[in-house]
Amino acid sequence: MRVAVIGGGPSGLVTLKYPIQASASISCEPVEAILFEYQTQVGGTFAARSYEDAELVSSKQLTTFSDFRYSEHGDFLSTQQYVQYLQAYCTHFKLWPHMRLNTQVLSVTRGVDGSHIITYKTNEARFPCEWRCDAVAVCSGLHVTPNIPNIKGMENVPLVFHSSGFKSRKQFGTDKTVMVVGSGETGADIAYLAATSPTKRVLLCHRDGVHFAPKRNPGPVLFPILGRKPDLKEPGIPIDVSRANMFDTTYVHPLLRNSMVLWHYCHWYIKFILWLSSGTTAGMDQWIGRISPERHHPSKIFFNKSMKVCPYISLPYRPSMPGPRLWLYALRSAIVQTPVPDTNGRKVDLAPWPKEIGRDGTVHFFDNQQPEFSRLKGERIKPDIVILSTGYKQDFPFLEPSRTKPTRAYGTANQANVRGIWRRDEPTVGFIGFVRPSLGAIPPLAEMQAQLWILNILAPEKIPHPLRATDEEHYRLKLPPDSRIEYGVDHESYVYQLALDMNSAIGLWDVLAIAHKKDVRGGWRLLVVWAFGAHFNTKFRLLGPWQWSGAADMLVSEEFWQTITRRPLFFGHFLVSLLPMMIFGPLSSVALLWATVLGSVGFIQDSQERET
């Protein structure tokens, strides 16, 4: 068996590791695997498109792979640290000999025997080369071809470039008006960097609002009127590992899982927490840029975790004048207070999407009927620099049918209809790392995808049940039809579904059996992390086809244990863990009882019909 991996980012590297180790893990024949990467180093977009002060928005506890951790202190890695981690990962698992760096894949075509032919080119070779394989993993990533919006008159701005070309604050110059188009995480980062540079003015343009979510538990303080003070220096627990899985994904009855009840609870829960913590429900301390009501639901959006810019955007809109709204805000602040960073008077003007740029360089915005349009209306704004933070196109030029070798098209990641990984009629071509979580990280999802895809190719008999399409709807985001991104998922639900597919989602009795083999302290920790911790991939290495002997020791280590102990009592353990368990545990029991009664009634009716 030969497997080609296209792309040397996190998804490609973890996908490369599993076929190499497959013979030892799932008792199959040795696999020959080669990774093709057109850059001179591994790391993908983290190496090629990084910028000053860039930091991952997902925690190291969640982002790093199941069997290789990052030992340094701190919860969030810089992009440079993450690339170093990936390089160490390659060294640890001896992946370097299986890579072809500085190698461009020109095309993937079909062989007459059902194989795939990789045509590639290196700087050393005068002519393209070919490599025939049995399976292809496409791991080229989501951030390759810039998406350039059509905005009339853009040529009237002195300097316009895509965010993929942004590297440092120096590019802002001095005393310039900077307009960032696009309010995603990169756009928010760039707007923050511009606001903390010697710029004249900074604008951040959005289409339909944004929901800023903190990377950490923001550390709200109860009853500050008693003298308790919020501590800006206290590192809160990362949000992406503060969610308990018990009765949220684990032991949830399918009737409850497949309904919108969990989503609606999450919606109202988030609104309550936001209002209680910061006085607004648009986002954490976000007083402008609210997403439209029909779309502002956790099942329909991607949370923006690059919220350093949020205080700069909210500054002109935060309540400060006497009135009913201020009294309510003051009353809430007397009960709960969340630290708000000081911007030293600097602000970022949130703006609607630009309609056009006039010949004199003046920008005209769409009237979105929101306060930011009214505030900017009548102003003559002439940006000196426009940075297009408008994302990337999903592009697979090497999969396009060749004119000289016409064959059936391979399709794209959007057409992968089995867990978003492969097409049901073409299991040997996998798209790894193309789903995006609303709150979470792509690399750990890619690891689980790689496990399932490789298992399905090499040992399909180890997959205990058919991979039914009916088990997919519950983890998918309900994105609008016109959404540019079509591959959104709930991180915890998706990763747990993949674990169920591979029979590696352990239950209570499995955990107790494993914990029994450890000392009292270690066994207790394992049980608590399993029930109250997030769905770390390491959990799904305790059992199953990719079982790893070091998984239990790693799960009881301080890294994972502190994701439990660092949670605040009320805003962590109670609101995030115990309260949902107290609600959804009984609801799942009721759903089980209801399904049992209906099943029994149906069985009796069938028996009576057979007798008659």
Q: What span, in angstroms and rounded, lies between the C-alpha atoms of 242 and 127?
A: 53
Residues 6+ apart with CB under 8 A from 210: 183, 184, 188, 283, 286, 289, 291, 304
Region of 392 please: left (phi>0), alpha (psi -120 to 50) or beta. beta
Q: Is 472 left (phi over 0), alpha (psi -120 to 50) or beta?
A: alpha
CATH of domain 148-243+283-390: 3.50.50.60
Tokens of 51: 């910028």
What is the three-class DSSP state of 505? coil
Asked, colleague to colleague, whether 2-144+393-503 and 148-243+283-390 share their fold, the answer is yes
pLDDT at 404: 52
Tell me the three state secondary structure of residue 579: helix
Q: In the block, which residue shows the tokens 């010697």?
A: 198
Nearby residues of 403 by Cβ (< 8 Å), 6 or more positions away? none
Rounded CA-CA distance 60/55 in Å is: 11
Domain residue spans of the chain: 2-144+393-503, 148-243+283-390
Residue 122's DSSP bridge partners are: 103
- Give the position of tokens 């609104």: 271
Distance CA 259, CA 261 (A): 5
Q: Report CA torsion sign: 99, 103, 104, 108.
A: negative
- Give the Cα separation of 183 and 192 in Å (integer): 11
Report DSSP letters for 299-336, one per residue: TT---B--GGGHHHHHTTTS--SSSHHHHHHHHHHHHE
CB distance 358 to 153 below 8 Å: yes
Q: How far is C-alpha 396 from the chain's CA centre? A: 21
Q: Would the CA dihedral through 467, 471, 473, 477 be positive or negative?
A: negative
Q: Please list the alpha-helical segments (H only) found in 355-396.
A: 371-376
Residues 524-527: contacts with CB under 8 Å, at least 24 apart? 525/555, 525/556, 525/561, 526/552, 526/555, 526/556
State how far the alpha carbon of 206 is from the alpha carbons of 19, 203, 430, 541, in Å: 43, 10, 34, 42
Taking 50 as the pLDDT cut, the residues of the chain under it are: none
Flag whether the pTM goes above 0.85: yes
Dist CA 167 CA 54 (whole Å): 9
The two three-digit tokens of residue 445, written as one number:
């999802």
Separation between Cα atoms, residue 420 and residue 413, nearest integer Å: 7
**What does the alpha-carbon distance between residue 416 and residue 406 come to, in Å, rounded to a whole number?**
22
Which CATH architecture is the domain 2-144+393-503 placed in?
3-Layer(bba) Sandwich (3.50)
Could you tell me which of 521, 517, 526 has the C-alpha nearest to residue 556? 526
| Of 506, 501, 586, residue with least CA distance to 539 | 506
| Beta strands at 32-36 and 2-6: parallel, antiparallel or unpaired | parallel
Instruction: Compute the distance between CA of residue 78 and CA of residue 232 in angstroms, rounded to an integer.
Output: 20
> Nearest 10 degrees: CA dihedral of 335, 338, 342, 343?
-120
Q: What is the pLDDT at residue 579? A: 85
Q: Can you point out the beta strands (E) in 433-531?
A: 436-437, 488-489
Which of 237, 244, 248, 249 lies closest to 533 in space, CA to CA?
A: 244
The two structure tokens encoding residue 58: 């997902």
Please tell me the number of Cα atoms within 13 Å of 238 on its side-chain side: 24
- Residue listed under structure tokens 């009576």: 608
CA of residue 417 relative to chain centroid, distance: 20
- Alpha carbons 577 and 204: distance in angstroms, whole number: 36
Contact 337, 224 (CB under 8 A): yes
- 34, 100 contact by CB (below 8 A): yes
- Let me know: does 361 contact 383? Beta carbons within 8 Å: yes
Q: Among all chains, which residue has been given the structure tokens 């990169």?
A: 186
Q: What is the dihedral of CA 14, 15, 20, 22, to 10 degrees?
A: 100
- Structure token digits, residue 190: 């760039």
Report the C-alpha gap between 75 and 238 in whole angstroms.
7
**Are 247 and 580 in contact, with CB atoms under 8 Å apart?**
yes
Determine the length of the chain. Answer: 612
Q: Which of 442, 530, 451, 520 is nearest to 487 (CA)?
A: 442
